[in-house]
Structure 1
Amino acid sequence: MLYPTPALTAEDQRVLAEIERMREALRHQVRTTSSKWTAGLRKFLTADAVAASNSIEGFKVATADVADLMEGERDVDVSDENREETLAYQRMMTYIQTLHDVEDFAFGKGFLNALHWMLQGHRHTARKPAGQWRRGPVYVRDARDPSIAVYTAPDAGEVPGLMDELVDWLNTRDGTHPLVRAAMAHLHLVSVHPWPDGNGRMSRSLQTLMIAREGVLAPEFSSIEAWLGRPGNTWEYYRALARRGARYLPAQDVSEWVRFNLTAYHQQAQTVQGRLDRAGRVWNTLAGFADRAGLDERTVSALHDVAMAGRVRRLRYEHAEGLSVQQAQRDLRDLVTAEILAPVGRTRARYYTSGPRFPQQALDIANTPMTLTEPYPS
């Protein structure tokens, strides 16, 4: 038995309508904006989602470092364990993103186990197999006292049947709004806890996939994983899950879980819209600066990364503009000579930050914080 999907209140319907309006506006803006700089934003949002979801599980890698690893950089100052976890999750997320418009797509137990192998295959052992249902009990332990189980998942013998039921539910349209279904899918999977490890990230990824399959926004703009990974929100995430009880009791009202997710959708839409607006204003400011300074217009993408992410690496610039190694090196060297950029580090580990002549207006725009509104008045 799975949790019944709760009916939405009038207040929930209002919030959902606001989310829909924001997402439609964002969809239109993305489609009518130059792909030149939205490509960078897509990569940032993917890196932010990977960094945030991994951070919930204790793997701390900054978004900028995740972006560098995704780009193929080898000399990134992270531990071997964090590198493995980041790249595994990134590969799985990249695959999920490609599934958003597959016409004959269907969920299956084999598909979910394959995703789990992508995520956890590097940790596969006989005791904790990857890509297979768990064979014993599993607990979510209290972060403050590991001797206390805040949640005990169903017995291992129940897992195959529960996953059969979940897959049937995933493949059946029931008229529920796709965002609500995605939230419920997250709850179903994380509550069954079918694998020895990686259940949280798998559940968040399933939610991302279902939102992406809805087709309103590109997958990079759809995930709420970055929102869930903010420290205060992560605590609320734990609290929202804790309200289901310490054991699997599906015959209960989970309206608060749905409301929590509607808040996440609403505020993440605000966040993405704010970053998209700032990124556009920064790009236009830097384009004007490059024109006045007599710089090649391709250098704007390097300057944009510095303003928005705090740094740029040669490989990132090279890929963004389709340049040779020599062209990218020459451009960056010229920007350093002009004191627009400043190098940090040596040889392959080098990256570039803003120099004394970097346009301050662009930095001011990029660093101006935005204010998020609460969708549910207190």
Structure 2
Amino acid sequence: MLYPTPSLSPDDGRVLSEVDRMREALRHQVRATPSKWTTGLRKFLTADAVAASNSIEGFKVATVDVEDLLEGERDVEVSEENREETLAYQQMMTYIQTLHDVEDFSYSKGLFNALHWMLQGHRHSIRKPAGQWRRGPVYVTDARDPSIAAYTAPDAKGVPALMQELADWLNAEDGTHLLVRAAMAHLHLVSIHPWADGNGRMSRSLQTLMIAREGVLAPEFSSVEAWLGRPGNTWEYYRQLTDRGSEYLPDQDVSSWIRFNLTAYHQQAQTVQGRLDRSGRVWGALSEFADSTGLDERAVTALHDVAMAGRVRRSRYEHAEGLSLQQAQRDLRDLVTAQILEPVGRTRARYYTAGPRFPEQALNVAHTPMTLTDPYST
């Protein structure tokens, strides 16, 4: 048995309508925005989602480091464990994003286990098998006291039947708004807890997969994983799950879970819109600076990364502009000579940050924080 999908309150319906309008506006803006901006934004949002979702499970890697890892950088100062977890999650998320337009797609127990293998295959063991249902009990321990089980998942013998029920539910259309169904799918999977490890990330990824399949907006613009990874939101996320009870009790009202997710969708849309707008203003300021100082227009790509992310690596600039190794090195060397950039580190591990002559206006725009509104307080 799965949780019944609750009816939406008038406030829920209003917030959901606002989210739809925001996502539609974002879709049109992304299509009208120069590809250099949106390509960089897509990469940032993907990295931010990976970093945030992993951070919830205790794997701490800064978004800028995740971006470098996803670009294939080897000389990133992270632990081997964090490197493996980041690349595994990225592999699974990349596959999820490719499924957005598969015509004969369907959810199945095999798909779930294949995705789990992508995420956890590097940790496969007899005690914690990857790509297979758990063989024994699993507990979610209290964050304040690991000796206390905050949640005990359903008996392992019932997992195959529950996962089949979930697959059947996912493949059946019931007229419910996709974003509500995606939130419910997240709750169903995390509550069943079908694997020995990786259940939280798999549940958040299922929500992202459903959004990708919707096709309205690229999943990196709609995923709530980055929002869930913010410390205050993470605690509320845990509280929402804890409020479901210490055992699997699906015959209950989960309206608060829907409200929590609608808030997440709304504030994530605000965040993406804010970053897209800020990115455009930064690009404009840097383009004016390049024109006034005689810089080649392609240098704006490197300067934009520095303003928005705090640094740029040679390989990232090289790939973004389709340059040769020698061209990228020469451009960055010239920017250092002009004191626009400063090098940090040596040889392969080197990256570049803002120098004393980096345009202050661009940095001011990039570093101005935005304000998020609570959609339920308006």
- Counterparts of 1:372 and 1:212, CA distance in 2: 24
- 1:7 alignment partner AA: S
Matched, 1:308 2:308: yes
- More displaced 10-residue stretch of structure 1: 292-301 or 224-233: 292-301
Query: What residue in structure 1 maps to residue 89 of structure 2?
Result: 89
Cross-structure match for 1:175: 175
* Alpha-carbon offset, residue 207 of structure 1: 0.2
Amino acid of the structure 2 residue aligned with 1:174: D
**1:101: how far off?**
1.5
Post-superposition CA distance 1:255-276 (Å, at most 9, x none): 0000000000000000000000
Per mean C-alpha deviation after superposition, the further-off stretch among 65-74 and 288-297 is 288-297
1:292-350 CA distances to partner (integer Å, 9 max, x unpaired)? 11111111100000000000000100110011111111100000000000000000000
Question: Within 5 Å, which residues of 2 pair with 1:116-127?
Answer: 116-127=116-127
1:69-148 correspondence runs (5 A): 69-148=69-148
Q: Which residue is equivalent to 2:43?
A: 43
State, as a whole percentage, how many aligned pairs show the same letter. Answer: 83
Secondary structure at the counterpart of residue 216 of structure 2: coil
Report deviation, 1:149: 0.4
Q: Which residue of 2 aligns with 1:229?
A: 229
Measured in 1, the distance between the counterparts of 2:265 and 2:188 equals 18
Query: Which AA in structure 2 matches 1:239?
Result: R
Q: State the distance in 2 between where 1:377 and 1:37 align.
A: 33
> Is the partner of 2:101 in helix, strand or coil?
coil
In 1: Cα distance, 2:277 partner to 2:103 partner: 32
Q: Does 1:297 align with 2:297?
A: yes
**Partner of residue 240, structure 1:** 240
SS of aligned partner of 1:147: strand
- 1:238-286 Cα distance to aligned partner (Å, 9 max, x none): 0111111000000000000000000000000000000000000000110
Give the structure 2 partner of residue 346 of structure 1.
Answer: 346
Aligned alpha-carbon RMSD (Å): 0.7
Deviation at 1:63, TM superposition (A): 0.2
1:155 aligns with 2:155: yes
Who is 2:20 aligned against? 20
- Measured after TM superposition, the shift of residue 222 of structure 1 is 1.4
Q: Distance in 2 between matches of 1:104 and 1:286?
A: 45
Residue 5 of structure 1 deviates from its aligned partner by 0.2
Please tell me the residue identity of whatever aligns with 1:79. Answer: S
TM-score, normalised to structure 2's length? 0.99
Distance 1:292 1:97 in 2: 40
Distance 1:302 1:91 in 2: 26
Letter matched to residue 217 of structure 1? L
Match of 2:334 in 1: 334
| Residue 6 (structure 1) aligned with residue 18 (structure 2) | no
**In the alignment, which residue of structure 2 is the partner of 1:370?**
370
Residue 291 of structure 1 and its aligned partner are, at CA, apart by: 1.0
Q: What do residues 92-137 of structure 1 show as CA deviations (whole Å, max 9, x unaligned)? A: 1111111112121111111110000000000000111000000000
Is the deviation greater in 38-47 or in 214-223?
214-223
**Residue aligning to 2:198:** 198
CA offsets per residue over residues 218-249 of structure 1, 9 Å max, x none? 12101000000000000000011111100000
- Structure 1 runs of 4+ aligned residues shifted over 6 Å read none
The answer for unaligned runs of 5 or more in structure 1 is none
State the TM-score, normalizing by the size of structure 1. Answer: 0.99
1: CA distance, partners of 2:105 / 2:301: 36
Aligned residues: 378
- SS of structure 1 residue aligned to 2:272: helix
Greater mean alpha carbon deviation, residues 326-335 or residues 95-104: 95-104
Aligned residue in 2 for 1:57: 57
Tell me the SS of whatever aligns to 2:92: helix
Partner deviation per Cα, 1:59-95 (whole Å, 9 max, x = no partner): 0000000000000000000000000000000111111
Structure 1: which amino acid aligns with 2:305? D
The residue identity in structure 2 corresponding to 1:226 is A
2:30 — aligned with what?
30
Distance 2:311 2:254 in 1: 43
Unaligned regions of 5+ residues in structure 2, if any?
none
Residue 36 of structure 1 deviates from its aligned partner by 1.3
Instruction: Find the aligned partners of 2:30 and 2:102 in 1 and give their Cα distance.
Output: 21
Which sits farther off after the overlay, 20-29 or 98-107?
98-107
CA distance in 2, matches of 1:94, 1:339: 38
Aligned AA (1:352): Y
SS of structure 1 residue aligned to 2:58:
coil
Q: Which amino acid aligns with 1:105?
A: F
